[in-house]
Structure 1
Amino acid sequence: MTSRFALLLVAGLLASCTTVATKKRSSQAPFRPPTASAKPPKAIGGMTGKQPEQIQSEEVKLPEVRQQAEAGLVYLQGLVTKSVQAPDKQTQETFRMQAVEIVENRLNEEQLEAVANGSDYGFLRGHAMFRLGETSLEHRDSVNAKKYFTGVIEFLPGSDLAVRSQEILNQMDAVRNVQAQTVGVVLPLSGRNAPVGQRALRGLEMGLGLHIPGSSFKLAVMDSEGNPDSARRGVERLVKEDNVIAVVGSLLSKTAPAVAAKSDELGVPTIALSQRSGLTEIGPTVFRNSLTSGMQVRALVRSAMEDFGMKRFAILYPNDAYGVEFTNIFWDEVLARGGQITAVQTYSNKETDFRLVIQRLTGTYFGEARQDEFNIRLNELKHSDKKRSVRQSNLENVLQPITDFDAIFIPDSVKAMGQISAMLSYNDVRSVKLLGTNLWNTKDVAKRAGNFANSLLFVDSISPAQDRSRFMMEYKSIYGEDPSLIEIQAYDAGLILRQLVAAGASSREELTRRLTSLNRFPGSLGTLSMNAEREIERPVTTLTVEKGEVTPVKYRQ
């Protein structure tokens, strides 16, 4: 069956091997011949200008449009005649190039059809067919694309345009060749990110069943080297040389868009493992299996508000891509659920002393705005009989912190959370929860949190209750260590592809359809379903710390 997705392969080829502009023709105004009486615009400063009225749109009635289109074609026929009858070769070539330029850049689709099918247009028929072939590719119409490019070869044999047409046809044929049980992967397997890439590769191999003797699946591997150009070339080789049915990757936010875009261009379904936002918007064959920022935040806010009754939140975030993305999503989710954001404070991702950051968050830094309160509080302290520590006697600590929030969201590492929690305690911030992401799911989180160890809420796909899942035990028996979320997500991607292909998805189109409708698939840690944005919704667990150990939250009945 002809692959309609294979057509996108040619888009990349066209961009690299031809100077012809690829434009959609359906809504383009018809080419009109130049008016004989029109005067050339005046030159100013050596540049030719255009009069304002020449670039303004005009309302033209349908009969006039058709007359103009016909006049344009008559003008084109005249150029063809002059390119043959002109007295010398130089003049003939001038008329010829003028006619080709009009066909390549100025005709709408209806006019191109007329030229391609009209014997009066001579050599221009091949040029019109080539443009129509490009348009068919844009519309993913492989039947007509093949017809037009074949026509170019017949009308202009041996020409550069015929060579390019043959290359496109060859590419279309290559893309249609598929080895249903061969999966490709693009990962960073060299350089500083190689350890992460190797971990993902282990998980994917197990998901495809390659550790099982007699497995019929094959894995074609390409090293992205952490470079987008290398990633793109890797995808192209996987498709053309290995005939893969799908591509898994990439992990890195730097290379993920390149892998997704090239795979979609070639019509090959791809499952990205990166958290990079916007990946699935690249094209209809792009899917993602990753615990995204949106999935984490939705689960965290739902648990905080529905299970713990929280309504008011503060946000303390690092001024980097991770912190900003999570903060925006968290803010929107809280408001969407009827909650409030009462305080927000940012800090440098290189910050180590959070004293002033906490003071700004809790309103003790801006003493001038609370001058009356400061004076009253200072007077009370002076006449108090209670003994005060040296720190409490410091003027900086006269004002009490404003904690008009139930919890503080801190989208940062467990190390940063530990430094922040210590400074919160120092500034007498108490009786609030700290909310975080899966970065907090570490063995030393309780030690880092200090006085807030029993006031943590964070989310992850992995929880202690899942340590004895079949995959996790099998992975540990093979590699002698527990898998991380990277291996787990790669395993699930391989398992999904293996089972869909085994169930009959032998073409890229069919595999794309089945991925799109994936529902309640039994993954390594729970069921997986594809949402409307082609994101695999992963199971997310809300975690806390009890007796120094990470544990799933016990919901009130």
Structure 2
Amino acid sequence: MAGFVRNGGLLLALIFCVGIPSLQGAEAPVTVGQRGGESVALQEGIDLYASGQTEAALSLLQSFVAGNPQSRELPTAYLYLGRIARDGGRPEEALSFLERIPADRQDQRVRLEKGGALVEVGRAREGLALLQPLEEDALSPWERGRRFSAMADAQAVLGRPLAALVLLHQGMANAGAEERDSLWRRGHRLLAERLGEVELTEAAFMLRGTPLGEDATLQLAGKAAARGARDQALGLVQALLLRGTNFPSRPEAVRLYDQLAGRPWLQRALGVVLPLSGRYATYGDLVRRGMDLALEMHNSSAPPVRLVYRDIGADPARSVAAVTELADSERVMAVLGPLTGTAAAAAAVQAQEERIPMLSLSQREGLPETGEFVFRDSLTSRLQARALARYAVRERGFTGFGILYPENLLGQEMAHLFAEEVRKLGGLVVISEGYAETATDFGRQIKRLMGMDPDASKETSAAEAEKRKNASGSEFPPVNFDALFIPDYADRIGMIAPQLAYYGIEGVPLLGINGWNSPELVRLAGRSVEGAVFVDGFFRYSPYPFVREFVDRYFEKFGEEPSILEAQGYDAVGILLSILDRRDIRTRDDLRLALSMLQDYPGITGATSFDFQGDADKVLFLLQVKNGNIVQIN
């Protein structure tokens, strides 16, 4: 502040020594070079002010005024000198600069600073008269915040604190981020120091759901606690926290709740919504087994965490109610599940509304796009297509692909996604053939894959085959792709693969999805699938030590080997427990941010990260049939 005063006094001395230039009709001839030099010097001062180097800006602007008494740029220099004086708490000095600007040169910015300075010297009504007519569109976000702040100060001076509060609220909605913080602090001080309980009640009602309105409720709760009305205070702060509004003084609200209730607001607990009854109960029970095993292992060596289960069947309405109860009544840190698509979609919307992180296990398309609090850790069709395409193109060097797919939802989706991922990598699907979901004879489709007409006569087919044989030197017609992708299950592959060999497609690498990962594959298809490669999110015979440990512990506890469902439940809980154990995780928003930044969590369903939308990006297991056995090759 002393520097401001010294520099300000120096400037005034300079001005009185050289005389105050009259800006009316200042048309002294100036050369182009001079004009350019003036503009550069003035802009340097403005840039210094904008970057926060106030004293350097002040010095440069002082020199500009003293050295260019006839410049047409003096109004701009006086504007910034006025701003610097106001920023330094010298409104009278600011007015002395601003009033030297001719009336016809006093634009919106000048009237803004002049109105603010008038308020600061106690001439609130005059200041308001200048500030209120200003057009917001003509001001920058920073200037809009400055205007609302000055008008709020004027209303406070005039004894109208509620009107001041409304103006600060409007300013927060229209100003830039930095100015919003300043407006918030002003509003917080106003609520804490100037408003009684009656006015606070009115402010909380008028501005409910906004940062200042929620702060008004917090101030009411604090006053109630101070006069011994504990139940009233607890009810107010609990209702405030349940609304889930994010506002700067929310940590204070949490501390007040903890003090009044004698327990933490957020529990060291995770909510789980699963189908534990109804048609999907078997799947829900298996996922729960994996989750319980992960919790048991964690709690044996770390501060304990609870899993709070809710059975939702596959009902969207029950899933919404469960998320609400877990977030508000049980006060868990995050929610896991659901499994089924419609229930997951409904739960995701509610989790976003409650602002509670949700880690879903559903494959429902587009689930993470619901909002920033919704994540998904599941083996999706896209994950499989991406992993398989990367292996085929990058590791094997394949460029052309055929697809033989069932004409059902899964088959059509996988065919589309695989073709899309191949194209991204520079490959091409040269032919794609579908078959009926219940088909047992695939001859027509296989002939098309071979470029043959399935409706041609036997004589024509034989002649075409002979022609191709002579051209290729092979006994069977060649195909024009490097590998064949078949997105179906092991029992169907057991019928398709032998027919491929029968019609002559031999030696062409076969690619598949996780549905191939079954002992039935080799039993039914035999040597027809030798060398075939497919992907899965879990492989119980993996050589990875942490996978072996999980399989052994699971078998010891339940007497059977786990499937991918137990593995997914185990990993989902493990991911959240690893985050909860961090000391910097205190709020749900902390947990959400940590989830979004997760990288390569060493899960038994593959190293897991989350992309920018919240969808899991995993390193899947690459499996191959070798000598009649399924083995991991990555």
TM-score tier (shorter): 0.5 to 0.7
User: Could you tell me which residue of structure 2 aligns to residue 78 of structure 1?
Assistant: none
Shift of residue 274, structure 1, vs aligned partner: 1.4
Q: Aligned to 1:234, what secondary structure does the other structure show? A: helix
SS in 2 for 1:255: helix
Q: 2:524 aligns with which of 444, 448, 459?
A: 448
Say whether the 8 Å CA contact 2:290–2:567 is kept in structure 1: yes
Does residue 1:173 correspond to 2:242, yes or no? yes
> After superposition, where does 1:38-187 map in structure 2 within 5 Å?
133=208, 137=209, 141-144=210-213, 147=216, 170=239, 172-173=241-242, 175=244, 178-187=265-274
Helix, strand or coil: the match of 2:356? coil
1:299 matched to 2:387: yes
Displacement after TM superposition at 1:172 (Å): 4.3
Q: Is residue 474 from structure 1 mapped to residue 553 from structure 2 by the alignment?
A: yes
Deviations 1:419-456 (CA, angstroms, capped at 9, x unpaired): 21122123222221211111111122212323422131
Distance in 1 between residues matched to 2:509 and 2:388, nearest whole Å: 12
Pair 1:190-2:277 in alignment = yes
| Shift in alpha-carbon separation, 1:212–1:507, aligned structure 2, 3 A | closer
- 8 Å CA contact 1:272–1:287 kept in 2: the answer is yes
CA distance in 2, matches of 1:346, 1:149: 63
Larger radius of gyration between Structure 1 and Structure 2:
2
Native 8 Å contact 2:606 2:621 kept in 1: no
Q: Residues 188, 485 of structure 1: CA spacing in aligned structure 2 closer, same or farther, 3 A cutoff?
A: same
Task: Tell me, yes or no, if the aligned pair for 1:130 and 1:149 is still in contact at 8 Å.
Answer: no
Question: Could you tell me which amino acid in structure 1 is paired with residue 361 of structure 2?
Answer: L
Report the 3-state secondary structure (helix = DSSP H, G, I; strand = E; otherwise coil) of the residue aligned with 1:518.
coil
Alignment partners' CA distance in 2, 1:336 and 1:300: 13
Q: Which residue does the alignment assign to 1:488?
A: 567
State the match for 1:419 in structure 2.
495
Query: Once the two structures are superposed, what CA deviation does each residue of 1:152-189 show, in whole Å capped at 9, x if it has no partner?
Result: xxxxxxxxxxxxxx999837436577433111000010
Equivalence for 1:457: 533
- The separation in 1 between residues aligned to 2:202 and 2:458, in whole angstroms, is 80
For the structure 1 residues 310 and 416, does the alpha-carbon distance in structure 2 shift closer, same or farther, using more than 3 Å as the test? same
- Within 5 Å, give how 1:372-383 maps onto structure 2: 374=461, 376-377=463-464
- For the residues of structure 2 that align with 1:404 and 1:378, how far apart are their CA atoms? 15
Letter in 2 for 1:516: S
Contact 1:364/1:400 (8 A) holds in 2: no
What residue is the counterpart of 2:344 in the other structure? 256
Equivalents in 1 of 2:215, 2:439: separation in Å? 60
CA-CA distance at 1:256 after TM superposition: 1.4
1:439 to 515, 523, 526: 515
Counterpart selection for 2:333 from 245, 249, 268: 245
Q: Structure 1: how far apart are the matches of 2:407 and 2:237?
A: 47
Residue type at the aligned position of 2:266: Q
**Matched residue of 1:522: which SS?**
strand
Using the size of structure 1 for normalisation, the TM-score is: 0.64
- Which residue of structure 2 lines up, in the alignment, with residue 384 of structure 1? none
C-alpha contact (below 8 Å) 1:206/1:494 kept by paired residues: no
Shifted more, 267-276 versus 421-430: the winner is: 421-430
Q: Does 1:514 align with 2:590?
A: no
State the Cα distance separating 1:366 from its structure 2 match: 4.5
Offset at residue 239 of structure 1 (A): 1.4
Task: Check conservation: 2:442, 2:499, Cα contact below 8 A.
Answer: yes
For 1:33, the equivalent position in structure 2 comes to none
Equivalent residue of 2:277, what SS? coil
**1:300-379 mapped onto 2 (5 Å cutoff):** 300-367=388-455, 374=461, 376-377=463-464
Q: Tell me, what secondary structure is at the counterpart of 2:542?
A: helix
Which residue in 1 is equivalent to 2:288? Answer: 201
CA distance in 2, matches of 1:405, 1:478: 48
Change (3 A) 1:379 1:428: closer
TM-aligned CA distance change 1:380 to 1:403, over 3 Å = closer
Q: Which moved more, 1:428-437 or 1:523-532?
A: 523-532
Cα deviation 1:175-206 (Å, max 9, x = unaligned): 57743311100001011211110111111122
Identity %: 31
Alpha carbons 2:491, 2:520 under 8 Å: kept: no
Change beyond 3 A, Cα 1:210–1:427:
same
**More displaced stretch, 513-522 vs 435-444:** 513-522
Following the alignment from structure 1 to structure 2, what is the Cα–Cα distance between the partners of residues 380 and 318?
31
Corresponding residue SS for 2:362: coil
Closer/same/farther in 2, CA of residues 376 and 489 from structure 1, 3 Å limit? closer
Q: 1:373 to 1:365 in 2, by over 3 A?
A: closer
Quick one: structure 1 residues 552 and 483, their matched pair in 2 at CA, closer, same or farther if it must change by over 3 Å?
A: same
CA distance in 1, matches of 2:403, 2:236: 56
Equivalents in 1 of 2:502, 2:371: separation in Å? 50
Q: 1:462, 1:282 → 2: CA distance?
A: 27
Give 2:561's aligned amino acid: D
| Correspondence 1:550 to 2:619 | no
Greater mean alpha carbon deviation, residues 543-552 or residues 253-262: 253-262
Post-superposition offset of 1:526? 5.2
Aligned 8 A contact 1:228 1:258 in 2: yes
Farther off after superposition, 194-203 or 449-458 = 449-458
In proportion to residue count, which structure has more helix? 2
Residue 268 of structure 1: how far off its partner (Å)? 0.4
1:17-38 Cα offsets, whole Å, 9 max, x none, are xxxxxxxxxxxxxxxxxxxxxx
Partner of 2:362: 274
Q: Is the 8 A contact 1:180 1:506 kept in 2?
A: no
User: Does structure 2 retain, via aligned residues, the 8 Å contact 1:327–1:411?
Assistant: yes
Displacement after TM superposition at 1:375 (Å): 7.9
TM-aligned CA distance change 1:400 to 1:491, over 3 Å? same
CA distance in 2, matches of 1:379, 1:298: 39
Residue type at the aligned position of 1:322 = L
Partners of 1:207 and 1:493 within 8 A in 2 = no
Structure 1 match to 2:306: 218
Residue type at the aligned position of 1:202: R
Decide whether the 8 Å contact of 1:269 with 1:508 is kept in 2.
Answer: yes
> Residues 218 and 236 of structure 2 are in contact (CA less than 8 Å); yes or no, is this contact kept in structure 1?
no
State the one-letter code of the partner of 1:465. S
Normalised by the length of structure 2, the TM-score is: 0.57
Residue 207 (structure 1) shift: 2.1
- CA distance in structure 1 between the aligned counterparts of 2:273 and 2:463, rounded to whole angstroms: 65
**Letter aligned with residue 194 of structure 1:** A
- Partner residue, 1:403: 479
After superposition, give the CA deviation of every residue in 1:223-264 in whole Å (9 maximum; x if it has no partner).
Answer: 111111111111111112211110000111232111211111
AA at the equivalent of 1:173: L
Asked if residue 500 in structure 1 is aligned to residue 579 in structure 2, the reply is yes
Distance of aligned partners of 1:290 and 1:401 in 2 relative to their CA distance in 1, 3 Å threshold = same
Quick one: structure 1 residues 515 and 401, their matched pair in 2 at CA, closer, same or farther if it must change by over 3 Å?
same
Cα contact 1:149–1:169 (8 A) shared by 2: no
Q: Contact between 2:444 and 2:454, CA under 8 Å: does it hold in 1?
A: no
Provide the rounded CA distance (Å) in 2 between the counterparts of 1:178 and 1:305: 52
Preserved contact between residue 537 and residue 621 of structure 2 (Cα < 8 Å): yes
2:484/2:510 contact within 8 Å kept: yes
> Which amino acid letter does the alignment assign opposite residue 542 of structure 2?
A
Give CA deviations for 1:134-169 in whole Å, capped at 9, x if unaligned. xxx5xxx44445659999xxxxxxxxxxxxxx9998
Give the Cα–Cα distance (whole angstroms) in 2 for the partners of residues 334 and 295 of structure 1.
13
C-alpha change, 1:131 and 1:451, in structure 2 (3 Å) is: farther
Distance of aligned partners of 1:362 and 1:229 in 2 relative to their CA distance in 1, 3 Å threshold: farther
Query: Which structure exhibits the higher relative contact order, with contacts defined as CA atoms closer than 8 Å and separated by 6 or more residues?
Result: 1
